[in-house]
Chain A
Amino acid sequence: MTAVIHASDLTKVFGSSTAVDHISFDVRKGEIFGFLGPNGAGKTTTTRMLTGVIPLDAGTATILGYDIRSDPVQAKQGFGVVPETSNAYTDLTAWQNLMLMGELYGLPRARAEQRSSDLLEMVGLLERKDQKVQAYSKGMKQRLILAMALIHEPELLFLDEPTSGLDVQSTQMILSLLRDLNQQGTTIFLTTHNMEEANRLCHRVGIIRAGKMVAIDAPEKLKVAIDRVHRIEVSFDREVSGDVLAGLGGVTGVTRTGDKWQITAENRDAAIRSLVSFSQQNGAAIVTLNTLAPSLDEAFLRLTQEDKP
């Protein structure tokens, strides 16, 4: 698959502190790539380097085939940016902001007007298009910023915490728009703190810690990879002995939680087979049987706290 973003040895130093330390990764065409990390890990600095806002101190970044250092204008022509803080011109109306963006991306006036109209309708701001942005709520501003980033129909969209601090309605609208855009072929680079958001949206996630990339994989694979011991939750229609369950093949531990048993196993498949055959042999019907994978939250915490001094 083609790499839309190719970052190699990306480095940024502020004084004596290395904010981003030789990180390398690719974002493939058509995917939603989640970029996760704790506060101060280097997420926003990385995004700013990739979008050409601040210069790289070392390494290379190729965006849509253009080197962000040597061909910044061509690279920027192909992507849109939604920063964490709304940066629309508050003294202009939504319409004027969009028309300004249209001009900065070189759109013909008629096309810019058509796109502005469509986008404002899409984000639910068409009726307030002639109102100055300073009167907008945070959610409205963020929706406008998204519309501004999409004015030129970019192939790639950078979003830095797009739903941070937003109401449920705006959050859901933005997430739904991102899914639709991705289905239409837009590649999305999403910086977020929200694990649930990343889990539901992203095809792959990269986790950065103290300026270094500690993991890149699909969310499900990351969750599984961090836990060698698997957990299974099971309940029966009658009382069963914990000692008996502990003696079953593949089971390494048993804990009672309410009316359920939590089984730990190194081999999940073997443990489930043992539980099913135990159920058949003892006439104890299984009421519920769940495999408990670690959440992305747990994976994130594990990966961002390992080896922490």
Chain B
Amino acid sequence: MNPAGFFEQLMRAWAIAKKDIRIYYFKGPVLIFGVFVPVFLFLAFFMGSRQLPLSFLISGLVGMTLFFTATAVSPAIFPWEGSAKTLERLASCPITIEAIVFGDMIASILFGIGITFVTVIIGLALGLSLLHGITLLAAIFLAACCFSAIGMLLAVPPTNVPSNIMMLSSLIKFPLVFISGIFVPLEQMPAWGLVLSVCSPLTYFTDIVRYAFTDSHYFPVMIDIAALAVFTMVFTAGTMYLHKRTMPKRM
């Protein structure tokens, strides 16, 4: 057995993911940021903006849910573990920092996908029809990877105070929701808004979800998929590189 080999490290990353799911995914902040916030934002817009069709808002709800659930816990795991000294335990174990980060990402991907399926079911229950199921599945998986990488990027600042990271996280996550075509269709956005929305991976995911439910989209679907893939690769590589640099500062 080569403990540093790819397969071994993958297995150990899976152990980290299982631990995360067991410990962190049933805490208060997860429920609040991951589930309640998207639902209440959806309800607010549903009730306040009656000219937007339900199919449009449900697509936004699916996008928001995946975004909020996949980034709900991952930013706070390192600060939590840093303050509890369990991160030091992991650092002395034969697992690379990349595998620890990947393990945290796997947990948030699974959690994000799981909760998002609930909102998809809600959409179907409200009478929407799923026109492109396979595309939606692929997009949910890809976007979950991308958003979990964003979650881990938010955890890069080497603080062991979870509230600091959650504040930073909210500061970035909420504006992103408003520039990603969730509540304001991309077609109705001003030019500066469109420029901003192009920089948000959530824009492409929401566009695909809309395509899956209504057959309409702003960008070509392949562009949406490619953009999500590029964002995922860049954010994953970036988060691993940056965590490797900042991890010793947490100890």
Interface residues of A, Cβ cutoff 8 Å to B: 48, 51-55, 71-74, 76-77, 81, 83, 85-92, 96, 100-101, 103-106, 148
Q: Is the CB of A74 within 8 A of B88?
A: no
Interface flags, B173-202, vs A, CB<8A=1, else 0: 000000000000000000000000000000
Q: Is the CB of B8 within 8 A of A90?
A: no
The CA-CA distance from A64 to B149 in the complex, in Å, is 35
**Closest chain B CB from A103 CB (angstroms):** 4
How many residue pairs, one in A and one in B, have C-beta atoms under 8 Å apart? 83
**Closest chain A CB from B75 CB (angstroms):** 19
Interface residues of B, Cβ cutoff 8 Å to A: 1, 3-4, 8-9, 11-12, 14-16, 18-19, 22-23, 84-86, 88-96, 248, 251
Give me 20 A-to-B residue pairs in the complex whose CB atoms sit less than 8 angstroms apart, sorted by A's number: A52-B91, A53-B251, A54-B251, A55-B248, A74-B94, A76-B3, A77-B94, A81-B89, A87-B85, A89-B23, A101-B93, A103-B11, A104-B16, A104-B90, A104-B93, A104-B95, A105-B3, A105-B93, A106-B3, A106-B94
> Known contacts being A54-B251, A90-B84, A104-B12, is A96 close to B4, with CB within 8 Å?
no
Q: Is the CB of A83 within 8 A of B96?
A: no
Apart from A51-B92, A74-B94, A92-B19, 5 more pairs, CB < 8 Å: A73-B4, A76-B3, A83-B88, A87-B89, A100-B15
Q: Is the CB of B248 within 8 A of A73?
A: no
What are the 3 closest A-B residue pairs judged by CB atoms, nearest first? A103-B15, A73-B4, A76-B94
The CA-CA distance from A88 to B19 in the complex, in Å, is 12
Q: Is the CB of A92 within 8 A of B23?
A: yes
Select one of B18, B85, B92, B94 contacting A85, CB under 8 A. Answer: B85
Contacts of B86 in A (CB 8 A): 87-89
The CA-CA distance from A71 to B94 in the complex, in Å, is 10
**Closest chain B CB from A105 CB (angstroms):** 6
Contacts of A71 in B (CB 8 A): 4
> Known contacts being A85-B85, A92-B23, A106-B12, is A76 close to B251, with CB within 8 Å?
no
Select one of B11, B12, B23, B88 contacting A53, CB under 8 A. Answer: B88
Give the most central of B9, B22, B88: most A CB within 10 Å: B88
Q: Is the CB of B19 within 8 A of A100?
A: yes
Q: Is the CB of A83 within 8 A of B91?
A: no
- Chain A contact residues: helix, strand, loop or mixed: loop
Q: Is the CB of A87 within 8 A of B4?
A: no
Q: Is the CB of A105 within 8 A of B94?
A: yes
The CA-CA distance from A53 to B251 in the complex, in Å, is 7
Q: Is the CB of B23 within 8 A of A83?
A: no
Select one of B94, B248, B251 contacting A104, CB under 8 A. Answer: B94
**Closest chain A CB from B28 CB (angstroms):** 13
Contacts of A73 in B (CB 8 A): 3-4, 9, 94-96
Give the most central of B9, B88, B94, B95: most A CB within 10 Å: B94
Complex: chain A residue closest to B22, CB-CB: A92
**Closest chain B CB from A120 CB (angstroms):** 18
Q: Is the CB of A91 within 8 A of B22?
A: yes
Q: Is the CB of B19 within 8 A of A74?
A: no
Q: Is the CB of B12 within 8 A of A91?
A: no
Contacts of B92 in A (CB 8 A): 51-53, 76, 81, 83
Contacts of B3 in A (CB 8 A): 73-74, 76-77, 105-106
The CA-CA distance from A88 to B89 in the complex, in Å, is 8
Select one of A48, A92, A100, A106 contacting B1, CB under 8 A. Answer: A106
Contacts of A77 in B (CB 8 A): 3, 94
Q: Is the CB of A106 within 8 A of B11?
A: yes
The CA-CA distance from A106 to B93 in the complex, in Å, is 11
Q: Is the CB of B84 within 8 A of A87?
A: yes
Select one of A48, A55, A74, A104 contacting B4, CB under 8 A. Answer: A74
Contacts of B4 in A (CB 8 A): 71, 73-74
The CA-CA distance from A55 to B1 in the complex, in Å, is 26
Contacts of A87 in B (CB 8 A): 84-86, 88-89
Q: Is the CB of B91 within 8 A of A53?
A: yes
The CA-CA distance from A54 to B251 in the complex, in Å, is 7
Contacts of B16 in A (CB 8 A): 104
The CA-CA distance from A77 to B94 in the complex, in Å, is 5
Contacts of A81 in B (CB 8 A): 89, 92
Select one of B22, B84, B94, B95 contacting A96, CB under 8 A. Answer: B22
**Closest chain A CB from B205 CB (angstroms):** 32
> Known contacts being A104-B12, A104-B15, A106-B11, is A91 close to B23, with CB within 8 Å?
yes
Contacts of A83 in B (CB 8 A): 85, 88-89, 92
The CA-CA distance from A77 to B8 in the complex, in Å, is 12
Contacts of B9 in A (CB 8 A): 73
Contacts of B84 in A (CB 8 A): 87, 89-90
Contacts of A100 in B (CB 8 A): 15, 18-19
Contacts of B88 in A (CB 8 A): 48, 53, 83, 87
